[in-house]
Amino acid sequence: MSPIPPSPNGLPEAATVVSRPVSRCDHLGVHPFSDTQDGLFRAYLSDAHRSTCQQVAQWMHAAGMTSRTDAAGNLIGRYEGQTPGAPALLIGSHLDTVRNAGRYDGTLGVMLGIEVVAHLAERGERLPFAIEVIGFGDEEGSRFPASMLTSRAVAGTLDTLPLDAVDASGSTLGDVLYHAGLDPARYREAAYTPEQVVAYLEAHIEQGPVLEAADMSVGVVTAIAAQYRFKVSMVGVAGHAGTMPMSLRKDALAAAAQALVEIERIGASGPADLVATVGQLHVGPGASNVVPRQVTFSLDIRAGTADVRDRAATKIRTALQDITDTRGVALRIELQNDLAPTPCDPELTARLATSVARVTGQPAHRLVSGAGHDAMVMAALTPVCMLFLRCHKGISHNPAEAVRHDDAHTALLVMLDFIQALAATPAPTPTEFSA
Ligand code: HGY
Ligand code: MN
Ligand code: MN
């Protein structure tokens, strides 16, 4: 393996431990596993995504797995159980990233899944169930505005495939699938049946400050917050910057600016778990001497419960309507993603907490995830649980994202303990879990 680029942050490490999953994330953190020469951006079905899947498939094979690419472009490694074709424990996370990403969001969960299997294979251990490690291709929605596309395909909950969705280069999802050799008509063949699956486990960096503040290396997720993603459009009238009087303007950008401040005020006025974010904004026609005609921006609203999320969304919608009515600007709000709050399975979560206590000697820290994860989609297919790893200052979606090697090693030990305990009791069928 070529020399691994140093971790971007040179964290004070417990020198005794080098976590191969962390080192592999560092290896994947640069071109050709990134679509950008500097920093990390790995887009669904891009060249970097393809190179990454080739490299990760090699690591899956070295760990004793077979690998395949499913109809949605997910990379899936399988480690057979004691009987070929047995239902599988799915261990997954995503390989795509946001723009200017950190190296561990998503990818670390896939690397830890491979490491679990490598440890079992080294010992020649076979379990009453198979293990499948899934590297989801599109969780972030960073190429096309439809996040969790590929876990929805696996969970069988993808009602429409947005083939006309367009990426930054103007390519449609349909074009990109075609060039990747994927047939849109067969996309849904990626779906599993509940009978094929024992449960779903996802390890992921916390992307928040809670575990670091509690000085805990790992934590157990009790639930994942509800999430809305909207696309907001405001259309006014373009005008000459020099001749159009201020009183006669229908300035779309001024309307959007007022809207953003109001969105922030409403987000900040709710309970602590309510958040509202505008991450993308595009202005047209975009000339310095033209009064802006149209603005489109993203709107991301989340909360621990659907009720808090929905009430905030209603307040924001009303505020935006008032602003645009007053300014004579047209408003359009399109819902792009509606993710319900997802409780993790209590039985699995209790088992995971027991494993944390056994490995760390401390009671497991339980927390809600404000970040979305493929686990919230996979809950429609099978019981899910999530293990969080402490990350440096809670930083994520940022090149300064960092995780400690010793924490990743602790997470590996917890996952192995959890899996062996799951194997020690008769692998319960999904109906037993969901009872
Ligand atoms: O947006 C999220 O919460 C996740 O990073 N996709
Ligand atoms: Mn992310
Ligand atoms: Mn993630």
* Residue 314 reports pLDDT greater than 50: yes
Which residues, at least 6 apart from 111, have a Cβ–Cβ distance to it below 8 Å?
A: 20, 21, 22, 24, 25, 59
Give residue 146's pLDDT band: very low, low, confident or very high (50, 70, 90): confident
Rg (CA), the chain: 23
pLDDT of residue 42: 98
- What residues flank ligand 1, with Cβ below 6 Å? 139-140, 147, 371-372
Which residues, at least 6 apart from 136, have a Cβ–Cβ distance to it below 8 Å?
A: 74, 92, 93, 94, 95, 96, 106, 150, 151, 154, 374
pLDDT of residue 17: 86
Give me 418's structure tokens: 């959890």
- Nearest CA, atom 6, ligand 1: 140
Neighbours of 57 (CB within 10 A): 19
Give residue 147's pLDDT band: very low, low, confident or very high (50, 70, 90): confident
Which residues, at least 6 apart from 221, have a Cβ–Cβ distance to it below 8 Å?
A: 344, 349, 366, 367, 368, 369, 375, 385, 386, 387, 388
Topology, domain 226-339: Alpha-Beta Plaits (3.30.70)
Q: What is the pLDDT of residues 1-43, one digit of tens each?
A: 333 344 444 444 445 789 999 999 999 999 999 999 999 999 9
pLDDT of residue 2: 37
Q: What is the pLDDT of residues 390-411, one digit of tens each?
A: 999 999 999 999 999 999 999 9
Domain with CATH 3.30.70.360 in the chain: 226-339
Q: What percentage of residues in the chain have a pLDDT greater than 70?
A: 94
Residues with a beta carbon under 5 angstroms from ion ligand 3 = 105-106
pLDDT of residue 7: 47
What count of Cα atoms within 13 Å lies in the side-chain half-sphere of residue 205? 29
Q: What is the pLDDT of residues 324-362, one digit of tens each?
A: 999 999 999 999 989 999 999 999 999 999 999 999 999
Give residue 429's pLDDT band: very low, low, confident or very high (50, 70, 90): low
CA distance 226 to 369: 10
pLDDT of residue 195: 97
Residue 139 alpha carbon, nearest atom of ligand 1: 6
Residue 227 alpha carbon, nearest atom of ligand 1: 3
Give mean pLDDT, residues 160-170.
94
Give residue 145's pLDDT band: very low, low, confident or very high (50, 70, 90): confident
pTM here? 0.88
pLDDT of residue 353: 98
CA-nearest of 93, 61, 34 to 388 is 93
Give mean pLDDT, residues 236-251.
97
Mean pLDDT of the chain: 94
* Residue 208 reports pLDDT greater than 80: yes
pLDDT of residue 84: 95
Give mean pLDDT, residues 92-100.
98
- For 20-224+341-434, which CATH superfamily applies? Zn peptidases (3.40.630.10)
Give mean pLDDT, residues 315-328.
98
Give mean pLDDT, residues 251-267.
98
Give mean pLDDT, residues 195-200.
97
In the DSSP assignment, the letter for residue 288 is: T
Which residues, at least 6 apart from 268, have a Cβ–Cβ distance to it below 8 Å?
A: none
Question: Ligand 1 test: best mutation among 376, 397, 398, most atoms within 8 Å of CB?
Answer: 397
What is the distance in A from the centroid of ligand 3 to the CA of 234?
30
Which residues, at least 6 apart from 288, have a Cβ–Cβ distance to it below 8 Å?
A: 241
pLDDT of residue 6: 45
* Residue 296 reports pLDDT greater than 60: yes
Give me 288's structure tokens: 């310095």
Give mean pLDDT, residues 260-272.
96
Q: What is the pLDDT of residues 25-34, one digit of tens each?
A: 999 999 999 9
Q: What is the pLDDT of residues 61-81, one digit of tens each?
A: 999 999 999 999 999 999 999
pLDDT of residue 392: 95
What is the distance in A from the centroid of ligand 2 to the CA of 98?
6
Question: What element of type H or E holds 59?
Answer: helix 47-62
Angle between helices 346-360 and 405-424 (to 10 degrees): 120
Domain with CATH 3.40.630.10 in the chain: 20-224+341-434
